Amino acid sequence: MSLLRLGVLVSGRGSNLQAIIDAGKKGEIPAEVVVVISDQPDAFALERARANNIPAIYIGFQDFSNKEKYEEKVAAVLKQYMVEIVCLAGYMRVLGVNMLEAFPNRIMNIHPALLPAFPGLHAQARAWEHGVRFSGCTVHFVDEEVDTGPIILQAVVPVLAEDTAETLAARILEQEHKIYPAAIRLFAQNRLRIQGRKVYIKN
């Protein structure tokens, strides 16, 4: 069986990118990362890609006249590498219509909260400050809003009495590294079906 071709968009250190790369190398997912694109020239995720002999490409947002032109370039590079699914791994830009139409129902994101609770930035700290008893992480398909797309998988992380925002975030991250590859595996196995707001997983 041919491997699913992944393109990963990053802005930072890329720990979820590393988890996906490692899962592919171990044969845990029938997929391989074929290109990594960052909007930040010094993102450590690009170093992770290079260390694994994966093309690492910086595309600067400021080099384009508008978001549409920028996303046209990103989509063109992804298609150049024959990417079949796009994974956002700490990518700090909201996708626009160009990207969504270029890869319909083929863009995934990981978010460090149990959506629909705590969308957006600093989700772990906001959950901790709010005093929730449980938090976690969510893999979802991307739509035109922020963290509102159909949910694929979630992992629950209890909030301990001695937790700080930082320790909670670290434990959530451990689960992110598990469920993101798991969601990719389901996609690669053609086991995900989107119906309205829900994602059904075929046995």
CATH value of 109-203 in 3.90.1010.10, 3.30.420.140, 3.30.300.280, 3.40.50.170: 3.40.50.170
Contacts of residue 21, defined as CB under 8 A and 6 or more positions apart, other chains included, come to 33, 48, 52, 54
Give the per-residue pLDDT at 10: 98
Catalytic residue selected from 111, 122, 130, 140:
111
Ranges of residues in the chain with a pLDDT under 70 are 1
Domain boundaries, the chain: 1-104, 109-203
H or E element at residue 36: strand 31-38
111 is catalytic: yes
Q: Hey, what are 78's tokens?
A: 């992804």
Give the per-residue pLDDT at 1: 65
CATH value of 1-104 in 3.30.70.120, 2.60.120.580, 3.40.50.170, 3.40.50.300: 3.40.50.170
